[in-house]
Chain A
Amino acid sequence: MDQTILIAGAGHAGGSAAAMLRQLGWRGPITLIGQEPVPPYQRPPLSKAWLTGEESADSVALRPFAFYAASQIDLRLGTRVTGIDRVARTAALSDGEVLAYDILILALGARPRRLAVPGAELAGVLELRSIADADRLKASIRPRARIAIVGGGYLGLEVAASARALDAHVAIIEREDRVLARVASPLLSDFFQSRHRARGVRIETGVETAAIEGCGGHASGVRLGDGRLIACDSVLAAIGAVPDDEIARAAGLSCENGIIVDLAARTDDPAIFAIGDCTRRPVPLYARMVRLESVPNALEQARQAAGLICGKPPPAPEVPWFWSDQYDLRLQIAGLPSDATEVAVRGDIAAGSFALFHLTADGTVQAVEAVNAAAEFMGGRRIILRRKQLARARIENVSVSMHELAA
């Protein structure tokens, strides 16, 4: 317990791992390296309460600044790991320093995928990952300002909801034929699409973004693949993220759109762990490897790594889950609908309180998408964990309580 731990990346995963190691009694040196100038913070509010002015740097911080010194965590900000020497067990930093480690935890995160169209370099073309990004975005969302959001994923939809709350004009451009195409079922996409349209969001689906048009060096519109122009004052590119796994690849660690890890967050080097958005990990419930970009995943992997390092028994596997808040809608998703063939609808979609249960051919519940339906989410998580089989009619019968279904 006197070995030196180096954590590369001070996002939700890295910051939490440092805190958990101390909770579990790790006494050795911990150095936490963050590229951003601020201590670890929660990113989920950046697309929501940060934009509407209800959060501050203090309120989103994972821990107060004083915590790191008090816990003897050497927090180094404004620098990043640029290379790993696995034989010498050292990491080179962008500021020229070289640090030795006994255990290295890679919590490198992901970065926004760049728009690859003419005009993407214009001023006013924004992305959202960091507090600095969120501040730029916030400055461009004002009453009657026009923002075009390229990409109808969760990030795009959450920003759209925040921008409408601030009375900005919002257009979403999505190349697939529905919003949330890669991350939600068609029924859920339809629901969110209609709720956003009802709030005045223009949604264009099934259309490519061909170019960003500019005026005086600043974005002034999005040119669609069919030739139409959506005039705007700013553009948010929200077309997904790519894992920051380059230094792991350069060091010869197995990577495949993310650093490959096992259920204890180990890479194929026993001295190196990897956690969070930068990893591809096994999910035993679904017998597959996935890259999950979510806070619960970052925390689960931080618990796996910190537990193993401190000699604790492995934590019980969790059902992957996720949440998103838009307008007065709280979406909670449990599980991955990888092999589902049937959907059971519980509750009233039109009333905005319902859950979609995704079932495999033998009736095993694989995933639950719950909108303003906390019982369905919580009960669903339990059902999925137990690989329970349920008949569709029984799920849809709301006179059978979720406690009964989950029992």
Chain B
Amino acid sequence: MPTITYIEFDGKRHPIEVPAGKSVMQGAVDNNVPGIDADCGGECACATCHVYIDAAWLDRIGLPPAGSQEATMLSFAAVTRPDSRLSCQIKVSDALDGLIVRMPEGQH
């Protein structure tokens, strides 16, 4: 099963096995990882599952298409960076085994 490492803003690491097919957000929520709120439950309606993709993974994960719902929501989220993604929009697959994402200071 792919392992995703979630790193809280204070540096605490949470390596979690997440089944392929779930979203990166769901992997955090299912394991109660602090720092990903996901208020809307994965509908891309709230921008509270914001993460920064580790530099080594950014090419493979990619950025949301310009003009997409995700890109628009992100551009107004708190503390957005060029490596920002909404984790509800990233589907876990075997190819993402080892992925590292970091959480911003807050989601609200």
A residues adjacent to B (C-beta < 8 A): 19, 22-24, 42, 44-45, 62-64, 67, 71, 295-296, 299, 315-316, 318, 321, 323, 325, 330, 332, 374-375, 378-379, 381-382, 402-403, 406
Contacts and interface: CB of A to CB of B under 8 A. Distances in A.
Contact of B72 (A44, A299, A375): A375
Nearest to B77: A378
A24 B75 CA distance: 28
Given A23-B32, A318-B108, 8 more contacts: A44-B41, A295-B41, A323-B43, A330-B45, A375-B75, A379-B76, A381-B76, A403-B76
Contacts of B4: none
B32 A19 contact: yes
Contacts of A315: 108
B94 interface: no
B62 interface: no
Contact of A299 (B39, B43, B47, B73): B39
A42 B41 contact: yes
B43 A378 contact: no
A206 B103 CA distance: 50
Given A378-B72, A378-B76, A406-B76, A325 B108 contact: no
Contacts of B46: 296, 321, 323
Q: Across chains A and B, which 7 residue pairs bring their CB atoms closest together, nearest first?
A: A378-B76, A374-B72, A23-B34, A323-B45, A42-B41, A375-B72, A299-B39
Given A67-B30, A379-B76, A382-B76, A374 B41 contact: no
B47 A296 contact: no
A318 to B, nearest CB: 6
What secondary structure prevails in chain A residues at the interface with B?
helix
Interface residues of B, number: 20
B30 A374 contact: no
A321 B45 CA distance: 10
Interface in B58-95: 69, 72-73, 75-77
Contacts of B77: 378
A378 B47 contact: yes
A323 B43 CA distance: 10
B29 interface: yes
B37 A299 contact: yes
Contact of B32 (A22, A45, A379): A22
Nearest to A323: B45
A42 B40 CA distance: 9
Contacts of A374: 69, 72-73
A247 B29 CA distance: 32
A44 B46 CA distance: 14
A332 B76 CA distance: 15
A64 B30 contact: yes
A403 B75 contact: yes
Contacts of A382: 76
B106 to A, nearest CB: 8
Contacts of A295: 39-41
Contacts of B47: 378
A60 B36 CA distance: 17
A323 B69 CA distance: 14
Interface in B39-58: 39-41, 43, 45-47
A22 B33 CA distance: 10
Interface centre among B31, B34, B46 (most CB of A within 10 A): B46
A42 B45 CA distance: 15
A64 B26 CA distance: 10
Contacts of A379: 76
A375 B76 contact: yes
Nearest to B46: A296
Contacts of B72: 374-375, 378
Nearest to B29: A63
Contacts of B69: 330, 374
A374 B76 CA distance: 9
B39 A296 contact: yes
A23 to B, nearest CB: 4
B76 A323 contact: no
28 contacts: A19-B32, A23-B32, A24-B34, A42-B41, A44-B41, A62-B29, A63-B29, A63-B30, A63-B32, A64-B30, A67-B30, A71-B32, A296-B40, A318-B108, A323-B40, A323-B46, A325-B43, A332-B45, A374-B69, A374-B73, A375-B75, A378-B47, A378-B76, A378-B77, A379-B76, A382-B76, A402-B76, A403-B75
